[in-house]
């Protein structure tokens, strides 16, 4: 498996080469998520430019009103005053309307971008093979879907929209001031010196602290997910207190770094306001002197003061923008890493059709190792004719489940081939393969929904009769009827909770309704009590009649329905014959069988 995309995820220091690659990958992802909305982004830019332009023009109107229209009105000519005040009002209404439209329009674009990305990430993560999910923990998958997507949304919302509006606002204000009175703008320029130091300080401190908050929140999530998914073990081993202490430490850390960030804002915000006020005071003082001299209109002075007062408003957003970029960037890096992963058992581009599977399975010189490299099957060959029922036995770790997973194509062999009806599994489409081969394991998983929903997963359009008859066949009908709503009982609701054994019976029914050519039962009866297992076996006999079956079972009672027994040891078949022949012999199976028989009495 490649693990190309996510292998550097936990690394702090990347080489120059790797950095470049990851950067290019993130940018490509950003480009691809923006591309579908690019035309709308231009419209949005037009909206924001117009609205900010109007917003900045309004104080300028006040200057003209005071300096020109009022003196004219004093002399009895009200025309200019009416026009300007009217224009001011209309301008104010349009500016507000434009801002309202822009905010909604831009939010809509961002939501569409996020929708696309969420869908893509989910579809891709789900498509990745079992091998990927074995190494990439669910905590990490959850982190990608929550934290990382949120940080990108944060960048799009605060960063993207507000930052562009803020920059435009500052530029327009600067231009307006230069046009009206360049001298007043000089004080704004001078204020850039303390502003620069303040902002630098703020950015530096928030950058490290934001990184710390991200690390702290990631640790929280991991600890939380681990504790809750392992809640049974936690309770069984009375680890609650210990976990509580660890969690308390983690949340305390999280609070501390957050408090630190808030503290920084506590200094930065008043600092900004103070610089703004001092600049306004300077403009007022020196402008006022020029008004007395007669070289500056009082209206111009007033509008300059209005400009200075609001000039610094977007600064906080701008200073924070860097942080949004940083965290969104780390989110993009990780998400693009997951998206870069390829399924290790890909579906073929052009598949060989398998319209009527018979269930003939062949292993030809199969060599197999998991991604950690240890060889499980050194050189494995096996032929299972269609319709045969195989009992596969052997000690734990012999490779029985591995063999089963290869037949279901959860993995591909390193060398050699696994064939179904003469076709290499790698040449079959997923649909054909899943229809032909069904595996039932010990951990029978029930999805939210009703019992009937869970059974008909095996055959999406199954009728209620089919659902019931498959449940009857495996002996699940009685207990299902005893549930509060029978087949319509919600498995996640109170009263719908079923035992591990009952879950297995439901998953049996699910497999039988699918009617596959090849059925694999990997210790699928392990949670059943002896009477239930009897019931299942009774059904098995008829249900396995016309299909190939591989039954891996602890309890040797299954042997009675097998045509052939395979004993597996260290990835090799050591015994292979009819049950009666092996029992009568002197091999390992004969010993196992004798021990099992003795245990029964
Ligand atoms: N996902 C995996 N990654 C790495 N090694 C594995 C994995 N699953 C099983 N193994 C190893 O493969 C060997 C065979 O395991 P398995 O096929 O599950 O045995 P059995 O089902 O006969 O008990 C064991 O040594 C086990 O440690
Ligand atoms: Mg196993």
pLDDT digits over 485-526, tens only? 999 999 888 666 788 888 888 988 999 899 999 999 998 887
The structure's pTM equals 0.81
Whether 586 shows a pLDDT value over 70: the answer reads yes
Using the mean position of ligand 1's atoms as its centre, give its distance from the Cα of residue 404 in Å: 11
In short, whether 402's Cβ falls inside 6 Å of ligand 1 is: yes
Given a contact cutoff of 8 angstroms between Cβ atoms, the answer to whether 566 and 392 are in contact is yes
Cβ of 133 less than 6 Å from ligand 1: no
Which of 3, 131, 133, 399 for mutating ligand 1's site (highest number of atoms within 8 Å of CB)?
Answer: 399
Number of domains in the chain: 2
**pLDDT at residue 268 is higher than 90:** yes
Question: Is the domain of 328 the same as that of 452?
Answer: no
In a domain, 359, yes or no: no
Q: How far apart are CA 513 and CA 460, in angstroms?
A: 10
144 in any annotated domain? yes
Between the CA of 397 and the centroid of ligand 2 the distance, in Å, is 7
Instruction: For residue range 409-458, list pLDDT tens digits in order.
Output: 999 999 999 999 999 999 999 999 999 999 998 888 899 999 999 999 98
**For residues 109 and 377, what is the distance between their CA atoms, to the nearest angstrom?**
52
Measure the CA dihedral 148/151/153/154, to 10°. 170
**What's the CA-to-centroid distance between 398 and ligand 2, angstroms?**
8
Contacting residues for 181 by C-beta, under 8 A, at least 6 apart: 287, 296, 300, 301, 304
Do 123 and 37 fall into the same domain? yes
Pick the ligand that lies closest to the CA of residue 442. Answer: 2
- Continuous segment of H or E residues that includes residue 440: strand 437-440
Strands 564-569 and 389-393, sheet pairing: parallel
Report which listed range, 135-149, 356-370, 438-452, 533-547, is most confident. 356-370
289 and 398 together in one domain: no
Which of 132, 366, 400, 401 should be mutated for ligand 1, with most atoms under 8 A from CB?
401
Pair (312, 399) in one structural domain = no
Q: How far is the CA of 32 from the centre of ligand 1 (A)?
A: 40
Same domain, 553 and 423: yes
Q: Are residues 320 and 388 in the same domain?
A: no
- Residue 329 in this model has a pLDDT that exceeds 60: yes
Residue 10 confidence class, pLDDT cut points 50, 70, 90: low
CATH number at residue 566: 3.40.50.300
The fraction of the chain above a pLDDT of 70, given in percent, is 97
Take atom 20 of ligand 1 and give the residue whose Cα is closest.
397
Task: Say what angle helices 530-543 and 500-514 make with each other, to 10 degrees.
Answer: 0
- For residue range 404-420, what is the model confidence (pLDDT) as tens digits? 999 999 999 999 999 99
C-alpha span between 4 and 600 (Å, rounded): 52
Q: Are residues 294 and 417 in the same domain?
A: no
The CA distances from residue 243 to 139, 229, 421, in Å, are 17, 13, 53
Atom of ligand 1 minimally distant from the CA of 398: 22
Tens digits of residue pLDDT in 210-244: 878 878 887 888 888 888 888 999 999 999 999 99
Q: Which atom of ligand 1 is nearest to the CA of 568?
A: 22
307: domain CATH number is 1.20.1560.10
Q: Select from 313, 340, 367 the last residue of a domain.
A: 340
Decide if 374 is inside a domain: no
Enumerate residues 6+ apart whose C-beta is below 8 A from 210: 261, 323, 326, 327
Q: Among the three residues 340, 365, 391, which one is the final residue of a domain in this structure?
A: 340
Q: Is the beta carbon of 393 within 6 A of some atom in ligand 1?
A: no
Integer Cα distance of 588 and 582 in angstroms:
9
pLDDT digits (tens, 9 = 90+) for 63-119: 999 999 999 999 999 999 999 999 999 999 999 999 999 999 999 999 999 999 999
Nearest atom, ligand 1, residue 571 CA: 14
Q: Does some domain include residue 28? A: yes
Per-residue model confidence as pLDDT tens digits over 22-39: 889 999 999 999 999 999
Same domain (yes/no): 207, 316? yes
Three-class secondary structure of residue 519 per DSSP: strand
Residue 9 lies in a domain: no
In a shared domain, residues 568 and 482: yes
Residue 282: C-alpha distances to residues 185, 235, 288 (Å): 11, 68, 9
Whether the pLDDT of residue 3 is over 60: the answer is no
Indicate which atom in ligand 1 lies nearest the CA of residue 396. Answer: 23
Residues 413 and 272 in one domain: no
Ligand that comes closest to the CA of residue 523: 2
CB-CB contact of 133 with 124 (8 Å): no
553, 523 contact by CB (below 8 A): yes
**170 and 60 within one domain:** yes
Over residues 326-354, the mean pLDDT reads: 90
Going from the Cα of 426 to the center of ligand 1, the distance in angstroms, rounded, reads 22
Domain check: are 287 and 392 in the same one?
no
Query: Which structural domain, as residue segments, surrounds residue 274?
Result: 20-340
360 part of a folded domain = no
Do residues 133 and 341 lie in contact, with contact meaning Cβ atoms separated by under 8 Å? no
Average pLDDT of the residues of the chain:
89
Is the CB of 396 inside a 6 Å radius of any atom of ligand 1? yes
Single out the residue of 500, 515, 505 nearest to residue 471, CA to CA.
Answer: 505
158 band by pLDDT with thresholds 50, 70 and 90: confident
Domain membership of residue 583 (yes or no) is yes
Domain-terminating residue out of 316, 340, 364:
340
Between 252 and 537, the more confident residue is 252
Atom of ligand 1 nearest to the CA of 131: 1
User: Which of ligand 1's atoms lies nearest the C-alpha of 523?
Assistant: 21
Phi, then psi, of 545 in degrees rounded to 5: -50, -50
Report which protein residue has its CA nearest ligand 1's atom 13.
Answer: 397
* 1 has pLDDT over 50: no
> Closest Cα to atom 21, ligand 1: which residue?
401
For ligand 1, whether the C-beta of 350 sits within 6 Å is: no
Of residues 11 and 374, the one with the higher pLDDT is: 374
Question: Which of 514, 560, 517, 516 is CA-nearest to residue 538?
Answer: 560
Answer yes or no: is 2 within a domain. Answer: no
Q: How confident is the model at residue 324 (pLDDT cuts 50, 70, 90)?
A: confident
Q: Can you tell me the distance from the alpha carbon of 495 to that of 502, in angstroms, rounded to the nearest whole number?
A: 13
């Amino acid at each position: 498996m490649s693990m190309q995309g996510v292998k550097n995820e936990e690394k702090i220091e990347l080489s120059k080469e790797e950095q470049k690659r990851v950067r290019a990958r993130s940018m490509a992802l950003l480009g691809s998520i923006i591309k579908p909305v690019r035309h709308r982004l231009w419209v949005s830019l037009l909206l924001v430019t117009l609205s900010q332009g109007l917003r900045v023009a309004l104080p300028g109107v006040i200057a003209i009103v005071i300096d020109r229209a009022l003196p004219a009105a004093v002399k009895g000519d009200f025309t200019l005053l009416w026009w300007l005040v009217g224009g001011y009002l209309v301008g104010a209404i349009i500016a507000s309307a434009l801002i309202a439209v822009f905010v909604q329009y831009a939010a809509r674009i961002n939501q569409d971008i996020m929708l696309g990305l969420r869908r893509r990430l989910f579809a891709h993560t789900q498509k990745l093979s079992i091998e990927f999910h074995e190494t990439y923990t669910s905590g990490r998958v959850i982190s990608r879907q929550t934290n990382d997507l949120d940080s990108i949304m944060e960048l799009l919302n605060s960063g993207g929209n507000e930052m562009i509006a803020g920059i435009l606002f500052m530029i327009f204000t600067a231009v307006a001031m230069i046009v009206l009175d360049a001298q007043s703008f000089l004080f704004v320029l001078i204020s850039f010196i303390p502003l620069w130091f303040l902002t630098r300080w703020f950015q530096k401190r928030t950058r490290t602290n934001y990184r710390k908050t991200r690390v702290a929140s990631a640790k929280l999530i991991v600890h939380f997910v681990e504790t809750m998914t392992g809640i049974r073990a936690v309770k069984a081993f009375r680890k609650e207190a210990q976990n509580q202490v660890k969690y308390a430490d983690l949340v305390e850390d999280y609070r501390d770094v957050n408090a630190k960030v808030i503290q920084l804002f506590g200094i930065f915000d008043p600092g900004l306001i103070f610089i703004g006020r001092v600049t306004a005071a300077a403009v007022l003082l020196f402008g006022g002197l020029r008004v007395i001299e007669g070289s500056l209109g009082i209206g111009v002075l007033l509008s300059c003061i209005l400009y200075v007062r609001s000039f610094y408003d977007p600064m906080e957003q701008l200073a924070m923008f860097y942080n949004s970029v940083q965290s969104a960037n780390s989110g993009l890096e990780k998400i693009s890493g997951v998206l870069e992963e390829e399924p290790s058992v890909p579906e073929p581009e052009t598949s060989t059709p398998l319209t009527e599977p018979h269930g003939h399975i062949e292993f030809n010189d199969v060599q197999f190792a998991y991604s950690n490299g240890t060889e499980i099957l050194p050189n494995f060959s096996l032929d299972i004719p269609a319709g045969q029922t195989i009992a596969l036995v052997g000690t734990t770790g012999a490779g029985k489940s591995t063999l089963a997973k290869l037949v279901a194509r959860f993995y591909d062999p390193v060398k050699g081939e696994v064939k179904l009806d003469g076709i290499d599994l790698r040449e079959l489409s997923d649909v054909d393969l899943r229809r032909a081969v069904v595996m039932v394991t010990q951990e029978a998983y029930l999805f939210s929904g009703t019992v009937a929903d869970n059974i008909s997963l095996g055959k999406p359009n199954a009728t209620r009769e089919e659902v019931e008859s498959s449940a009857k066949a495996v002996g699940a009908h009685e207990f299902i009827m005893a549930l509060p709503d029978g087949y319509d009982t919600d498995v996640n609701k109170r009263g719908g909770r079923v035992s591990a054994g009952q879950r297995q019976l439901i998953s049996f029914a699910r497999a039988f309704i699918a009617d596959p050519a090849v059925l694999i039962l990997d210790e699928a009866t392990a949670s059943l009590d002896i009477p239930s297992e009897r019931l299942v076996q009774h059904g098995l006999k008829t249900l396995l009649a016309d299909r190939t079956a591989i039954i891996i079972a602890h309890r040797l009672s299954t042997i009675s329905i097998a045509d052939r027994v395979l004993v597996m040891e260290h990835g090799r078949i050591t015994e292979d014959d009819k049950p009666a022949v092996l029992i009568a012999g002197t091999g390992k199976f004969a010993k196992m069988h004798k021990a099992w028989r003795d245990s029964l009495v």
